Amino acid sequence: MSSTVSPLAPTDVPEMPAIAGVKLATAAAGIRYKGRTDVLLAIMEKGTTVAGVFTRSKCPSAPVEWCRAKLGRGQARALVVNSGNANAFTGKTGRQSTALTASIAAKAVGCQPGDIYLASTGVIGEPLDATKFDGVLDDLAAKTAPEGWMDAARAIMTTDTFPKVATATVKLGKAKVTINGMAKGAGMIAPDMATMLSFVFTDAPISAGALQSLLKAGVEDSFNAVTIDGDTSTSDTLLAFATGAAAAHGAPKISRASDPRLKAFVKAFHAVLANLAEQVARDGEGARKLVEISVEGAVSKASARRIAMSIANSPLVKTAIAGEDANWGRVVMAVGKAGEPANRDKLSIAFNGIRVAQRGARDPSYDEAEVSNAMKQPKIAIKVALGLGKGRDRVLTCDLTKEYVAINGDYRS
């Protein structure tokens, strides 16, 4: 957690309303950090459904494996999150730590260990001493309250410079339902479902199966369309919890994601995910520029995504942006290496609305001073038109600065 807040941090932070059926509390357990909170406990009412998507890394953390194994039950009573230690690459010890943490939490909450969901973020390869949760979770369970969303988001931060929250209120049937979300992540971000964790809560009565379908669809153009450094974490976890408490106010019970009554909810749900994902991009380690990369005219959306990611993950493109240098030759390079259909002589590129290249050459009206001035903006939009088809996509990233190297050069030590 940095003491210097990213210059790209949102200026408007929403008031986070209470969600019926969810109570939160945070504590300092001394897992890695001194003098700050590092444990979050969220307790949900009985009947809460759960859905999740996780890292596709072949070296997943112990909490990821724990959650995957429990997800089929479709129900949850509590979430325990710790920062400072990822409990990843910790072998048998890591598995024992998750079991012990879940057991301690279940006792504190009064439920089965299988109804406890876990997430950890921080250093990889260090054993997590789960005995530090003993007593702490009992205290937290006694003091959970419907407020404290910002404190919760702060407790799960590692190299983040600001807590990330988003909220939406929408009608489901004739009842008002609320969606609250929080996320953490600033480095090792290239979600494939970064040390990225995100948790979304709603009081809507939605079955686990329908919630899973919504989450899987919603992640594609939000979290999976963000990259900071191209590195997919061992710990990526996105969990959604639906308490169903709004049923008491007339919200219809939803069992299918295709239910037409869900239309407004789905739009709001996706907006919360997209908001959180953008905040992750805005908090990229050492970032000074938010970068939006749009690719159009590709042979398919999937092809456009791969080309956009090739540009977004290029250290040469990202360092040029950090230096406020409109080096569009590096964008050409990234398009060419993506392994996707592209025709050099049909390609056009624009920076912040100023076309710099077209039809395989520099734009005839190219003005170095005009483009250099545009590169000084805090948000840089790179648009690539391939001229091959109707496929289009958009991803978010940030620049690559010296500060990124400084943060990661001594992350463990």
Describe the chain by its helix, strand, coil percentages, rounded to 5: 35, 25, 40
In angstroms, how far apart are the furthest CA atoms of the chain? Answer: 71
To the question of whether residue 195 is assigned a binding role by annotation, the answer is yes
To the question of whether residue 300 is assigned a binding role by annotation, the answer is no
Give the single-character DSSP code of 341: -
- Read off φ and ψ for residue 78, nearest 5 degrees: -155, 155
To the question of whether residue 158 is assigned a binding role by annotation, the answer is yes
To the question of whether residue 4 is assigned a binding role by annotation, the answer is no
Kind plus residue range of the DSSP H or E element containing 183: strand 175-184
* CB distance 263 to 75 below 8 Å: no
Give the single-character DSSP code of 175: E
Instruction: Please name the residue that has the structure tokens 């040029």.
Output: 320
Distance CA 42, CA 99 (A): 18
Distance CA 80, CA 1 (A): 19
* CB distance 143 to 175 below 8 Å: no
- Is-catalytic flag, 55? no
To the question of whether residue 184 is assigned a binding role by annotation, the answer is yes
Rounding to the nearest 10 degrees, give the CA dihedral for residues 351, 317, 227, 121: -140
Q: Exactly one of 101, 121, 195, 243 is catalytic; which is it?
A: 195
User: What is the number of other CB atoms lying within 10 angstroms of the CB of residue 113?
Assistant: 17
* CB distance 126 to 80 below 8 Å: no
Instruction: Please name the residue that has the structure tokens 């939160």.
Output: 24
* CB distance 225 to 192 below 8 Å: no
Residue closest to 321 by CA, chosen among 281, 285, 287? 287
Give the single-character DSSP code of 305: H
Catalytic positions are 195
Residue set of the binding site: 158, 184, 195, 285, 408, 413
Residue set of the binding site for substrate: 158, 184, 195, 285, 408, 413
